[in-house]
A = this chain, B = another copy of it.
Amino acid sequence: MDPSQVKIPPMKDLTVDNITENVIRINSLCEDARMKYVLERLVTHLHDFVRETRLSSDEWMTGLRFLTEVGQICTDVRQEFILLSDVLGLSILVDSIDHPKPAGSTDGTVLGPFHTHDAEEMRAGDAMSHDPSGEPLLVVCSLRDMHGRPIDNVKIDIWETDSSGHYDVQYPGREGPDGRCIMRSDRDGIFWFKAITPVPYPIPHDGPVGKLLKKLHRHPYRPSHMHFMFEKEGYDHLITALYLRNDPYETSDAVFGVKDSLTVDIGKAGPDIAQKYSVPEGHALLTYDFVLVSDAETSELRAKNSKIALDKLGRKVQIVNGLPVPELD
């Protein structure tokens, strides 16, 4: 690049006190207002973090080495940066902001690092888990909108661990998906399938994130749960999970995902259910009524929340493409 094309004021002799404004100024050559705003806040917070901690060169290098290790352990089936985001509470925070839920709708929670894109479509009643050691579980759910109307043909991704607490992708010899499936809701908004009762399990803790947790004396466990992801045009993408009540880790989830509204009891199939779904009486049963929010309702609530939160912070913003950027003077 021709240096005569550099359209920023000269920068030299940058100090603890003027480096931040200069980095923001040079980044502001970018014409994408949203990216500019995100980077301005990122640079400000990273610099303030360094200034407030008086971060040492050794600590800085330790941090960069840690991030390098986090990146290097990632593979197609292991996403250690999601894990890091999860254990720092960032994932649940982003989900809460981007997918706000009006009262009466189903809460969202963390995606986690184990969703894949190769789950098979299954039909109502199919078994998604083939682990013979798992405790068989019948799952019967309904899906409605905020007005109580059934929603049909929603694509539902479901995934859970096997009875030893491992997802299929955690086995080196994995040849295909297991413990996961894609279902579609029927015209009554119902979907049902056979699974196994979820068990608590540690998030992968043989890598840098596990070492960090150990150093912090934090356990790596997640309480028993089953993941669900709902997708249909016109509805806000819902990533959620159901948690088992009274799990030993119910109130100390390593990734902060548990919500009371998503906590369920495992029941027993009575005679009617047993007959209708062809399981023995007394068979373990999980039921849940999910409520999806429309895109329009979510957008409105998201924009309203953004405006309120940023007003409170004294930041004047406008919402462009659904996301805040600073108001022009």
Chain A residues in the interface with B (C-beta under 8 A): 1, 3-4, 6, 8, 10-16, 19-20, 22-23, 26-27, 29-32, 35, 37-39, 41-43, 45-57, 59-60, 64, 67-72, 74, 79, 81-82, 85, 88-99, 215-221, 248-253, 256, 258-260, 302, 305-306, 309-310, 313, 315, 322-324
Contacts and interface: CB of A to CB of B under 8 A. Distances in A.
B98 A56 contact: yes
B258 A51 contact: no
Contacts of A20: 89, 93
Given A19-B92, A38-B59, A89-B14, A30 B256 contact: no
Contacts of A39: 216
A203 B96 CA distance: 38
Given A11-B253, A12-B250, A88 B43 contact: yes
Closest 7 pairs (CB-CB, A-B)? A71-B71, A10-B251, A1-B219, A23-B89, A3-B248, A45-B45, A29-B217
Given A11-B253, A72-B74, A50 B90 contact: yes
Contacts of A8: 252
B60 A90 contact: yes
Contacts of A3: 219, 221, 248-249, 252
A218 B54 contact: no
Contacts of A27: 216, 218
Residues of A contacting B: mostly: helix
Contacts of A11: 251-253, 256, 258
Given A71-B71, A259-B13, A52 B41 contact: yes
B323 A54 contact: yes
Contact of A50 (B16, B30, B32, B97): B97
B19 A94 contact: no
Nearest to A243: B12
A105 B290 CA distance: 67
A22 B256 contact: yes
Nearest to A32: B215
25 contacts: A1-B219, A1-B220, A1-B221, A6-B252, A12-B258, A15-B96, A20-B89, A26-B216, A26-B218, A41-B52, A41-B53, A43-B89, A45-B49, A50-B90, A51-B93, A52-B310, A52-B315, A54-B310, A56-B94, A56-B323, A60-B94, A64-B82, A68-B71, A68-B74, A71-B72
Contact of A51 (B10, B50, B59, B309): B309
A12 B216 contact: no
A52 B89 contact: no
Contacts of A26: 216, 218, 252
Contact of A49 (B41, B59, B85): B41
Given A3-B248, A68-B81, 14 more contacts: A13-B260, A23-B256, A29-B217, A30-B217, A37-B53, A45-B45, A46-B90, A50-B97, A54-B324, A57-B95, A57-B99, A64-B81, A67-B67, A72-B72
